[in-house]
């Protein structure tokens, strides 16, 4: 995996449809690191919200991750239960997100959730976009 140097990745719009090598939808698997689990548990509190993990067009290398706490999604999603946390993955991006690990990094500048994706061929220098 090679990293490209970049500035700040710009905001992007949701992917309407991703051309894949297969027409099948993949049943995605997701893991959470202990730190990510702790931070999500705190963020969710007693709510019934889920973590929506999506992919947006844009960024330095083609795609960007989009993580949101949502009650529901307009997109057709797979609903996963990972260590007691509800996670939603839109079916249009399930193949791109299969096998991801969600981590949380504490940093003075730029800390937050990080997605480790075994399907990414490249990531940008800031780690916010992939291809």
Domain boundaries, the chain: 28-130
User: Does 85 or 7 have the greater pLDDT score?
Assistant: 85
In 3D space, the residue among 74, 117, 95 whose CA is nearest the CA of residue 18 turns out to be 95
* SS3 (DSSP) at 26: coil
DSSP string, 27-66: ---EEE-HHHHHHHHHHHTT---EEEEEEEE-SSSSEEEE
CATH label, 28-130, candidates 3.40.50.2000, 2.60.300.12, 1.10.150.120, 3.40.228.10 = 2.60.300.12
pLDDT tens digits, residue range 8-42?
Answer: 444 444 444 444 434 567 899 999 999 999 999 99
pLDDT tens digits, residue range 52-109?
Answer: 999 988 766 678 889 999 999 889 999 999 999 999 999 999 999 999 999 999 887 7
């Amino acid at each position: 995996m090679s990293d490209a140097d970049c500035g700040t990745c710009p905001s992007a719009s949701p992917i309407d449809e991703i051309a894949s090598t297969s027409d099948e939808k993949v049943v995605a698997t997701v893991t959470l690191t202990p730190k990510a689990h702790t931070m999500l548990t705190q963020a969710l509190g007693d709510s019934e919200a889920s973590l929506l993990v999506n992919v947006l067009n844009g960024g330095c290398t083609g795609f960007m991750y989009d993580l949101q706490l949502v009650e529901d999604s307009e997109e057709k999603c797979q609903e996963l239960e990972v260590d007691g946390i509800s996670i939603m993955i839109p079916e249009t991006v399930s193949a791109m997100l299969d096998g991801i690990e969600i981590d949380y990094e504490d940093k003075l500048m730029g800390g937050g959730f990080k997605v480790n994706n075994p399907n990414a061929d490249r990531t940008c220098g800031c780690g916010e976009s992939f291809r």
